[in-house]
């Protein structure tokens, strides 16, 4: 299985002969480029076209994050796995109102399922779990537009986030979800984790025939890969939130792992290192797949969602979103 490299230090990516190196002021280490799938860059890292061309030969995607640790953009090599037929069919599913609503509903349904799954493990959140079930059951059969679906999803997610105060440490109290910018530690953690899962999903889409800019729940935009946002809805509660719960309740991340700058609250370098290590462990954790009869990592399940969408677009199999059974 190809690996993910996270660079959190300042330095330089440099090619010398047929080797890629990452250099800092104190060390120089080679990168096993043949076994790397993607590189997430958080520090101030210099690289030139010589290094980029070499990275492109191996189909490695670079994801860049800003000073606060939030996603800034990606460098993606020329895509090799392309299919005009799949892209056309994907676009037709967007243009057909009923087909688009069906797929958008699937993404939200899976997200809500995984939110409720997280809360079922916590007795303190039982009242919130019941509230989500009531909100979802009362609203999901009356959906006639994407905006109504997103409104329902927003109400469910507000209840879900409100439940965090019942089982997370008091230091991480959440009054409300804040994204731009996050002004407290719990919002900073959620935003940081969501940025990472977004870029991870984007990498998995890149390795398939899907077009990342044609989406169904989120409106396609010129400034984002919105299909990555769609698929991320499935994995944010399943992966990111479970990582946050573990790190906070085990006191692996505390308030000392955050800094503040103007209106921003963000993880410092040590906090990012801890979070990234735990997220990497989660994504590499394997679960036995019922149909394939083999172990599949969480990251592998993201790729499988992409393949299921392709089968749906070409008419092989109706899309059914992931609902974790384990």
Q: Could you read off the pLDDT of 40-75 as tens digits, one per residue?
A: 999 899 999 999 999 999 999 999 998 888 899 999
Rounded (5°) CA angle 181-187-192: 80
**C-beta atoms surrounding 266 within 10 Å:** 22
Q: Alpha-carbon distance 98 to 114, whole Å?
A: 25
| Ramachandran region, residue 293 (left: φ > 0; alpha: ψ -120 to 50; beta: rest) | left
Please compute the mean of the pLDDT values over residues 152-162 and round it to a whole number: 96
Instruction: Give yes or no for residue 22 having a pLDDT over 80.
Output: yes
pLDDT of residue 252: 97
Q: Alpha-carbon distance 86 to 214, whole Å?
A: 11
Name the DSSP letter for residue 125.
G
pLDDT of residue 222: 64
Instruction: Give yes or no for residue 179 having a pLDDT over 90.
Output: no
What are the binding residues?
153, 218, 233
38 and 23 Cβ atoms separated by less than 8 Å: no
pLDDT of residue 154: 95
pLDDT of residue 177: 87
Q: Alpha-carbon distance 97 to 105, whole Å?
A: 12
Confidence band (pLDDT; 50, 70, 90) for 79? confident
Please compute the mean of the pLDDT values over residues 149-165 and round it to a whole number: 96
In tens, the pLDDT along 246-272 reads: 999 999 999 999 998 878 899 999 999
**Phi, psi (5° rounding) for residue 288?**
-65, 125
What are the binding residues for Mn(2+)?
153, 218, 233
217 and 103 Cβ atoms separated by less than 8 Å: yes
- Grouping H, G, I as helix, E, B as strand and the rest as coil, residue 61 is strand
Please compute the mean of the pLDDT values over residues 283-293 and round it to a whole number: 93
Query: Could you give all domains of the chain from N- to C-terminal order, each with its CATH number?
Result: 3-65 (3.100.10.20), 84-313 (1.20.120.920)
| Ramachandran region, residue 315 (left: φ > 0; alpha: ψ -120 to 50; beta: rest) | left
Strand pairing report for 264-267 and 19-23: unpaired
pTM for the model: 0.93
Strand pairing report for 61-65 and 36-41: parallel
pLDDT of residue 295: 96
Q: Alpha-carbon distance 273 to 311, whole Å?
A: 37
């Amino acid at each position: 299985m190809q690996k993910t490299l996270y660079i959190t230090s300042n330095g330089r990516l440099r090619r010398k002969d047929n080797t890629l190196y990452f250099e800092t002021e104190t060390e120089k280490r080679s990168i096993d480029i043949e076994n790397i799938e993607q590189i997430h860059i958080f520090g101030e890292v210099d690289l030139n076209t010589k290094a980029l061309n070499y990275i492109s030969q191996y189909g490695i995607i670079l994801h860049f994050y800003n000073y606060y640790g939030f996603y800034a953009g990606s460098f993606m090599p020329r895509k090799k796995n392309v299919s005009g037929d799949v892209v056309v069919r994907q676009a037709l599913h967007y243009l057909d109102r009923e087909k688009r609503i069906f797929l958008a509903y699937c993404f939200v349904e899976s997200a809500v399922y995984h939110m409720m799954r997280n809360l079922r493990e916590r007795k303190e959140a039982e009242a919130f779990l019941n509230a989500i079930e009531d909100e979802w059951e009362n609203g999901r059969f009356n959906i006639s537009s994407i905006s109504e679906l997103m409104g329902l999803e927003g109400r469910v997610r507000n209840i879900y986030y409100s439940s965090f105060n019942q089982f997370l440490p008091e230091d991480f109290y959440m009054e409300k979800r804040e994204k731009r910018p996050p002004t407290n530690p719990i919002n900073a953690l959620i935003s940081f984790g969501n940025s990472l899962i977004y870029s991870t999903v984007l990498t998995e889409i890149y390795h398939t025939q899907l077009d990342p800019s044609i989406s169904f729940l989120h409106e396609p935009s010129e400034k984002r890969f919105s299909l990555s946002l769609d698929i991320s809805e499935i994995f944010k509660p399943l992966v990111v939130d479970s990582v946050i719960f573990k790190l906070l309740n085990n006191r692996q991340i505390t308030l000392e792992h955050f800094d503040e700058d103007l209106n921003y609250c963000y993880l410092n370098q040590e906090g990012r290192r801890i979070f990234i290590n735990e997220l990497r462990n989660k994504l590499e954790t394997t679960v036995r797949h019922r149909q394939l009869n083999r172990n599949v990592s969480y990251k592998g399940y993201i790729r499988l969602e992409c393949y299921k969408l392709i089968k749906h677009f070409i008419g092989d199999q109706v899309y059914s979103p992931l609902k974790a059974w384990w």
